[in-house]
Amino acid sequence: MKALLLESPGKAQLREVASPEPGRGEILVRVTACGVCHTDLHYLDHGVPTFKSPVILGHEVSGTVAGCGAEVEKFREGDRVLLPAVFTCGACRMCRTGRENICQQMKMLGNHLDGGFAEYVVAPAKDCFALPAEIPLAEGCLIGDALTTPYHAVKHRARVQLGDVVAVFGCGGVGMNAVQFAALAGAHVIAVDIDDHKLELARRFGARDTLNVRAVERPEKELKKRTGGGVDIALEAIGKPETIRLAYDSVRVGGRLCVVGYSAEPVTLPFSKMMFYELEVVGSLGCRPADYPEVIELVRSGRVALGPLVTARYPLEKIHEGFDALRAGQGLRSIVLPGKAA
C-alpha cells in the first residue's frame, strides 16, 4: 500500500509499504480520510522522542472495516468507523480514575503506532467507534482530534458554564471548535486571532465578539474594557509563550486560564496575580474515551458543525500541499483521502 513514511525529522516520503495485518482484537481499517493537524507538522519538522522510526504519520482517521483479527466481535467488514487518536492502557491509575487522556502508557497513531496517511491502518477494536450513517465518513475523521480535544478542554478543563465570558485565543482547527463548544455551552465567546478571515468565520461558529490582536496596542486592556474587568475563562489554542501570557493577563479576578496550545518554550507568568486573584491555570490534553460518543452525537444531531471545518481535500500524493497550507495558516482543516487518485 502507499503511505507517508516519516523516516527522520524533515524527511517524510510517500512509499510503497506492506499492508498491516490485524492481530488479536484488532481491526484492519481501509482509510477513507485522515485530518492534517498541527501536531503532524511538529513531528514532521522536529520529530519526537517517542517515535517509532520510521513511522506512518496521521492520527485523525475514519474509514471502513476491511478485516477483523481473532476475537473481534464489535465490528464486521464494511462497518464505518472512527479511530481515536490515542489508545490507552486501561490499567494505570489515571485510566482507572477516568483520566485516560493522561495515561502515561498511551500509544498514539502516527507517533508510537503507524497512522492514517496510508491506505490501511490497524487499531484495537475495543477503542474504535461506529460512525452513524448521518455523519459523512470523510469529514467524520476530524472528530478524532480537532473536535474532541477542544470538547474535553471546554467541558472538563475550562469548565465553561452558561453565562460565562470566554475568550478563545487562536481560531485554527482547535480554537474554532473551542469557540463552537463554548458557545453551545451558553458562554459569551470572544474570538481572538491575527487573521480577520478566521475571526469572521468564528462568528459563524458562535462567537459574539472578536478581537484582532494586531488592531490594538494592548489587547489585554481592550478585553478588560469590553468585559468590565476581564474574561471569566481564557482558552489558549495557539501555543506561543506571548499568547499564553496574553490569555493569562486577560482573565478577571477569580478567573481561569486553560492552555490547549503546545509550547516547547518556557512561559513566564506573574504568580502574585494568581495568588491575590485566586486564578486557576489548567492544562488540557486530548480527550477521554467517554468524550467520543458525546461528540459523535452532537455532530449526528447537527448541534455542532462538521462540514465547514473541512477547507481542503487532498489525495495522498498531494499531502505536502496540505502541510504547506497549514504552515501558511490557510484554511481550518485539510483532510487527506488515501483512496482517491491524484
Give the interface with ligand APR as residue ranges (CB under 6 A): 37-39, 169-175, 192-195, 198, 213, 237-240, 243, 260-262, 329
- Per the CB < 8 A criterion, the answer to whether 204 and 308 are in contact is yes
User: Among 103, 184, 187, 199, which residue sits at the site for Zn ion (rule: CB under 5 A)?
Assistant: 103
Residue 205 amino acid letter: F
Q: Whole-number minimum distance, CB 329 to ligand APR, in Å?
A: 5
Q: Parallel, antiparallel, or unpaired: how do β-strands 333-337 and 310-315 relate?
A: parallel
Residue 260's binding partner, choosing from Zn ion, ligand APR, none, with beta-carbon cut-off 5 to 8 A by kind?
ligand APR
CA distance 22 to 108: 17
Q: Parallel, antiparallel, or unpaired: how do β-strands 2-8 and 129-130 relate?
A: unpaired
DSSP characters for 23-39? -TTEEEEEEEEEEE-HH
Q: Whole-number minimum distance, CB 317 to ligand APR, in Å?
A: 23
User: Among 1, 14, 41, 92, which residue sits at the site for Zn ion (rule: CB under 5 A)?
Assistant: 92
Residue 103's binding partner, choosing from ligand APR, Zn ion, none, with beta-carbon cut-off 5 to 8 A by kind?
Zn ion
Q: Whole-number minimum distance, CB 157 to ligand APR, in Å?
A: 13
DSSP characters for 61-110? EEEEEEEE-TT--S--TT-EEE--SEE--S-SHHHHTT-GGG-TT-EEBT
- Per the CB < 8 A criterion, the answer to whether 177 and 309 are in contact is yes
Q: Does 95 bind Zn ion (CB under 5 A)?
A: yes
- Per the CB < 8 A criterion, the answer to whether 118 and 2 are in contact is yes
Nearest-CB residue for ligand APR:
172
Q: Whole-number minimum distance, CB 70 to ligand APR, in Å?
A: 36
Q: Whole-number minimum distance, CB 320 to ligand APR, in Å?
A: 17
Residue 239's binding partner, choosing from Zn ion, ligand APR, none, with beta-carbon cut-off 5 to 8 A by kind?
ligand APR
CA distance 213 to 220: 9
Residue 92's binding partner, choosing from ligand APR, Zn ion, none, with beta-carbon cut-off 5 to 8 A by kind?
Zn ion
Q: Whole-number minimum distance, CB 324 to ligand APR, in Å?
A: 13
Q: How many positions of this chain bind Zn ion (CB under 5 A)?
A: 6
Give the residue with the Cβ less far from ligand APR, 126 or 245: 245
β-pair partners for 86: 108
Give the residue with the Cβ less far from ligand APR, 22 or 286: 286
- Per the CB < 8 A criterion, the answer to whether 287 and 98 are in contact is no
Contact set for Zn ion, span 131-190 (CB under 5 A): none
Q: Does 108 bind Zn ion (CB under 5 A)?
A: no
CB atoms within 10 A of CB 143: 28
